[in-house]
Amino acid sequence: MSGHHPARGRRAGERKGDLRERAILDTCETLLAEKGYDAMKVGDIAQGAGITRGALYFYFGSKQEVVAALVARTVEHLWERSRVAAETTEPRQAITAAMRRTIELWAEHGLVMRTAIDLSLTVPEIGELWSHTADLFIDAIRAVLERAGVPAGDAPHQASAMARALCWMIERTFYHASQDSPEQLQQASATCEHIWMTTAGLTA
């Protein structure tokens, strides 16, 4: 089985604006910080959200499903914040704005992002979601590089290959820096921005 559940389509239609589901996801994020993924139980999430364990199962079939939905919500926010910035016509402004949006979300939800990365190899639903999100960012980075004059293509010196390397470099750099301090996160962001600018040929 690929992790799909028969109720998922129904639940997906209810998600927007559903206060109870939002409370479940908010509680899950709080418990990740307090207990960690392994120690967190479905009963803990239900209690924190003010519902019964049975009521929680109406929305989600397992702890993994709750975390996957939390990751989905978080990366959607990341993509919405970064997408508009990356589509800015002027490449230098696009890079600066995209990095600023990225650091904002890592500062707010770094724990969720790290949990997604940690679980992406063992929880297929999270792995697929994280991979899809990375593909969106790789395409956005590629478009910025091409607007800056980097030739299109998959060769090492061309935009698609560079975009893939930049995306995964940014992910890993933010992963480590977000565990340290806000200052380290700022430094990591500045370094990634400089490397992206250099790759795009935009440094003086």
Average pLDDT, the chain: 86
> DSSP letters of 62-74?
SHHHHHHHHHHHH
pLDDT digits (tens, 9 = 90+) for 179-194: 988 899 999 999 999 9
CB 128, CB 64: distance < 8 Å = no
Q: Look up residue 110 and give its two tokens.
A: 């770094």
Q: What residue ranges define each of the domains in the chain, with the CATH number in brackets?
A: 8-61 (1.10.10.60), 68-199 (1.10.357.10)
**Global confidence as pTM:** 0.80
Q: What pLDDT is stored for residue 4 in this prediction?
A: 42
Rounded to 5 degrees, φ, ψ at 136 are -60, -45
b/e for 79-103, b at 16 or more Cβ within 10 A?
bebbeebbebeebeebbbbbbebbb
Q: What pLDDT is stored for residue 101 in this prediction?
A: 86
What residues in the chain have per-residue pLDDT under 70? 1-17, 82, 84-86, 88, 204
* Nearest partner of 95 among 4, 196, 27, judged by Cα: 196
CB 48, CB 31: distance < 8 Å = yes
Helices (H), the chain: 8-14, 19-34, 42-49, 53-59, 63-86, 91-119, 124-147, 159-177, 182-199
What is the rounded distance in angstroms from the CA atom of residue 25 to the CA atom of residue 140?
28
Q: What pLDDT is stored for residue 8 in this prediction?
A: 46
Q: Look up residue 52 and give its two tokens.
A: 């019964």
